[in-house]
Amino acid sequence: MKLRAVLSACILLLPALITGMSARAQETAAEWAVTTINEREYYSLEQLRSFYKLRPIDTASPHLHTIGNSSFRLVFNTQSMELIVAGYRCRLSHPIIKSNNGELLISKTDFVKLIDPILRPTYIAERREVRTVVIDPGHGGSDPGNKSEWLCEADCTLNIALALARELEKRGLHVILTRNTDQDLADAERVRTAREAPAAIFISLHVNSGRSDIRGIETYTAAPLEPNSRALEAHRHDAANIALAFALHSHVLNSTNAADGACRRSHYSLLNTVNCPAALVQVGYATHKQEASALAGNDYRAELVTGLADGIAAFCSAISVKAELKPSRPEEEAVTLPAPKPKPAAPTPKKDDKSNKNKKQNKRKPTPTKPRRRRR
Ligand SMILES: [Zn+2]
C-alpha cells in the first residue's frame, strides 16, 4: 500500500511517457497498409499521424516533418536517424525514407518498438509489478573506467548509485546494488545479480569519455529484435526496455538541464543478457571540463539522483497499470506528453560544441503549452 501510494504521488510529478508496445497495438498495426522495401516493412507517417490523432505542423526546414497536438510534438528528421519526442532526442533503428509516390515512411520496428511504447504506456503487453531495482555502478576495483583530471568513472558511478539506492528506498522500492564498494566485478556477475532478483529492472550507470567539447547524457537500451534476426534474452522486453530508457532519459534531462545526448540503442552484452527491462545511463562526459566538474560535485549528483529516481518511479507506475484500466479502444486514450523545458543560456559554448547543437535544436522545439512539472 505504501509503495502504491508513493508511486501514485510520484507519477503526478513526472513526464507521463513510459511504457511499451502491446499486442493490441501490434494487432492494430497489422491492419495498416504496409510498404515493403528491401525486405523491410514500413508504415507511412500519415498513417501514424492519423492513428494518434495528431495534426501536421509546418516547420521552416524541409528536412523536418513535424506532427503533434496541443501538448507535444514528434519531429522526424528525414536526413538523420533522429526522432524528437516531446523535446527529447531518440535514435531510430532505421532512417525515414520516401516511397515511390513521395510518402514518408517509418519502419515497422521503429513504430512498434519505439514510438508506440513511449506514447502509450498503458498498452505495454508486459504487465508486471516491479519489486526490485538493481542498480549497477559501472567498473570498479582494478577497472576505474574513464578517468580525467576531474573524476574517476568507477568512483562517480558508485557515489551516484549509493545515493540513488537511498532515494529509491525512501520511496518504498527494494534496491539491490551489484557492488557497493570499489571492487572488481565481471559483467557476468552483474547479470547474475539481475537474474536472481525478483521482479526486477536493471539500471547500469556509466560516465562517458570523448573529445573535450562533447558533453551530455546518453541513455541506452538493447537494440530491438528485427525480423529474421536471432532473438536474445533482452528481446522479450523490447517495449519495456525503450519505455524504461525513455523514462530515465527524459526525467534525468528534466532534473539536470544537461545536454541531450539522445536515447539510443546499443549492443552492449550486459543489456542483451539480463532477463528484465534494462537500461544504461551515461550520466555525462568525464572529458568535458564543465560537465565533469559538475559530476564531481554533490549538487549536480543530487539532481541526477532525483531524475533517475523520478524516471524509475514513472516507469514502475506505468508498467504496473492493471489491464482492466486500459481504455476499450486505442483511440480513446489521449496522448499527452509534456513539453520540453526551456534550456538556460550556456556559458560561452564552443562553435562546434555538441551541447551548442542541442541548444540550436531546442529552439526549433515547440513552445511549452503545459508547465512542466518538476521535483527539485
Ligand atoms: Zn563505463
pLDDT digits (tens, 9 = 90+) for 77-107: 999 999 999 999 999 999 999 998 989 999 9
Distance between Cα 22 and ligand 1 center (Å): 32
Q: How far is the CA of 143 from the centre of ligand 1 (A)?
A: 9
Q: Are residues 169 and 96 in the same domain?
A: no
Asked if residue 2 belongs to a domain, the reply is no
Judge if 319 and 331 occupy the same domain.
Answer: no
Distance of alpha carbon 41 from alpha carbon 24, whole angstroms = 19
- Residue 188 alpha carbon to ligand 1 centre in Å: 15
Residues 73, 155 share a domain:
no
Long-range contacts of 147-151 (CB under 8 A, 24+ apart): 147/286, 148/209, 148/286, 148/287, 148/292, 150/286, 150/289, 150/292, 150/293, 150/295, 150/296, 151/207, 151/286, 151/292, 151/295, 151/296
Structural domain includes residue 344: no
Q: Are 335 and 69 in contact (CB under 8 A)?
A: yes
Distance 202 CA to ligand 1 centre (A): 15
What is the residue-averaged pLDDT of the chain?
81
In a domain, 365, yes or no: no
Compute the distance between CA of residue 247 and CA of residue 67 in angstroms, rounded to an integer: 21
Examine the pLDDT at 155 and tell me if it is beyond 70. Answer: yes
Residue 29 binned pLDDT confidence (cut-offs 50, 70, 90): low
207 and 331, same domain (yes or no): no
pLDDT for residue 55 is more than 90? yes
Asked if the structure places residue 360 within a domain, the reply is: no
Residue 143 and residue 227 in one domain: yes
Q: Tell me which of 48-52, 227-231, 300-304, 335-339 is least confident.
A: 335-339
Same domain, 333 and 296: no
293 and 330 assigned to the same domain:
no
Q: The C-alpha cell of 265 is what?
A: 540503442
Query: 337 vs 249, which has greater pLDDT?
Result: 249
Same domain, 132 and 174: yes
187, 256: one domain:
yes
* DSSP secondary structure letter of residue 229: S
188 grid coordinates: 557476468
Question: Residue 68 is part of a domain; what is its CATH number?
Answer: 3.30.457.10
Does residue 140 belong to any structural domain of this protein? yes
The CA 157 to ligand 1 mean position distance, Å, reads: 9
Q: How far away, in angstroms, is 271 Cα from ligand 1 center? A: 13
316-356 per-position pLDDT tens digit: 988 876 544 444 334 334 444 444 454 444 444 444 444 33
Q: What percent of the chain has pLDDT over 70?
A: 76
Supply the range of the domain harboring residue 175: 126-324
CATH number at residue 183: 3.40.630.40
Distance 275 CA to ligand 1 centre (A): 21
Q: How far, in Å, from the CA of 366 to the mean position of ligand 1?
A: 34
In a domain, 369, yes or no: no
Domain boundary among 297, 324, 351: 324
Measured in angstroms, how far is the CA atom of residue 144 from the centroid of ligand 1? 9
For residue 156, how far is its CA from the centre of ligand 1 (angstroms)?
Answer: 10
User: In the structure, what pLDDT confidence band is assigned to residue 30 with cuts at 50, 70 and 90?
Assistant: low
Distance 336 CA to ligand 1 centre (A): 35
Q: What spacing in Å lies between the alpha carbon of 341 and ligand 1's midpoint?
A: 29
Q: What is the pLDDT of residue 232?
A: 87
Give yes or no: residues 173 and 43 share one domain: no
Q: Are residues 235 and 138 in the same domain?
A: yes
Residue 245 belongs to a domain: yes
Q: Is the pTM of this model over 0.85?
A: no
* Residues 183, 300 share a domain: yes
What is the whole-number distance in angstroms between the Cα of residue 330 and the centre of ligand 1? Answer: 40
Centre of ligand 1 to C-alpha 301, Å, is 17
What's the chain's length in residues? 376
Distance CA 316, CA 10 (A): 10
User: How many structural domains does the chain have?
Assistant: 2
What's the rounded Cα separation, in Å, for the pair 241 and 244? 5
In a domain, 43, yes or no: yes
